[in-house]
Amino acid sequence: MAKTTYRMCGGLAIMPGHDMAMLKRMSAKGWHVRGINRALLYRFEQGEPHDYDYAVDFQRDFSEEARELYGLGGWEPVVLGSGWQIVRAEAGTTPLYTDDDAEAETLRESRKGLGVRALLCAVAAALLFVLQARLSAQGNEPASWACLAACVALASGFVLSLFPFVGYTRSLRKIHAEQEADPRR
pLDDT tens digit sequence for 106-155: 888 888 888 899 999 999 999 999 999 999 999 999 999 999 999 999 99
- Answer yes or no: do 37 and 115 share one domain: no
Residues 84 and 62 in one domain: yes
Q: Return the HEC string of the chain.
A: CCCEEEEECCCCCCCHHHHHHHHHHHHHCCEEEEEECCCCEEEEEECCCCCEEEEEECCCCCCHHHHHHHHHCCCEEEEEECCEEEEEEECCCCCCCCCHHHHHHHHHHHHCCHHHHHHHHHHHHHHHHHHHHHHHHCCCHHHHHHHHHHHHHHHHHHHHHHHHHHHHHHHHHHHHHHHHHCCCC
pLDDT on residue 185: 59
* Residue 9, domain member (yes or no): yes
> Is the predicted pLDDT of residue 1 greater than 80, yes or no?
no
Place 26 in a pLDDT band, splitting at 50, 70 and 90: very high
Q: 56-103: per-residue pLDDT in tens? A: 988 777 788 888 888 999 999 999 887 789 999 999 998 888 778 888
Q: How far apart are CA 185 and CA 182, in angstroms?
A: 6
What was the pLDDT predicted at 44? 96
**57, 90, 123 - which closes a domain:** 90
- Whether residues 22 and 80 fall in one domain: yes
Residues 13 and 84 in one domain: yes
First-to-final CA distance of the chain: 47
Domain range for 61 is 4-90
Domain boundary among 90, 111, 144: 90
| Exposed/middle/buried for residue 54 (C-beta within 10 Å: 0-12, 13-18, 19+) | buried
**Domain-embedded: residue 117:** yes
Residue 95 in domain = no
Question: What confidence tens digit (pLDDT) does each residue in 2-21 have?
Answer: 799 999 998 888 888 899 99
* Res. 183: pLDDT tops 80: no
